[in-house]
Amino acid sequence: MAYVDKVLIVRERIEQRPQFSRFAAYGAPLVEFFAVAFVWSVLRWILIGVVFPVEGETEQWFLVGYVVGLALFGVRFGWRMGVRFVKLMFSELAVTNLRFMEKEGVLDVRFWATDLEKIQRVEIKQPLLGRLFDYGDITIVTVGEVTHTTRAVEAPIQLQQALHARMSAAASRAAPAAVEPVNRVVDA
């Protein structure tokens, strides 16, 4: 049973479970890794071949420095990918008929929820890759200008539309019914 399922209140049901973007979690760091490796290789080529033409043992030391630098960057890249994998595997989003909820973490769980009636606006931020691969950041602004940003959500425009539809439904349930004026005849 998911964490979000455990925190549901009476008469609350999950209507949508948005997902986090796998491309944002894995693709963007992968693009960064190859870009840095390419720049590192070009710099090595320029330094050794053009600026400091070296031969023999000095060239070997340049090559050792190059390999060690790439290895250190590879370790950093592997750590980032591992952290992103754990975050992706153990994070949850849910839109219910009453609330928007986000859970993050494994041992140290961070849970955020807000009532749909308290949401004032939903903002989307999509970078260029986000537009191409359909992911983006959703910022929810609640009463009192409290903001919460959920990063790297798949299909953010559909999520925004779903939240707006549920917000208007929740607002119509919460609004008091129009009261008919009562005309009383008072005997004097």
Tens digit of pLDDT at every position of the chain (188 positions): 588 889 999 899 999 999 988 887 777 777 877 887 788 777 777 766 666 666 666 667 767 777 787 788 888 888 888 888 888 888 999 999 889 999 988 888 899 999 988 999 999 999 888 898 899 999 999 988 889 999 889 999 999 998 988 888 877 776 665 555 555 555 54
For the four alpha carbons of 121, 144, 167 and 131, in that order, the dihedral sign comes to positive
Q: For the domain with range 11-20+93-174, which CATH number is right: 2.160.20.60, 3.90.230.10, 2.30.29.30, 2.60.120.10?
A: 2.30.29.30
Would you kindly state where each structural domain of the chain is located, as residue ranges? 11-20+93-174, 24-87
From the list 120, 119, 92, the residue with the least C-alpha distance to 105 is 92
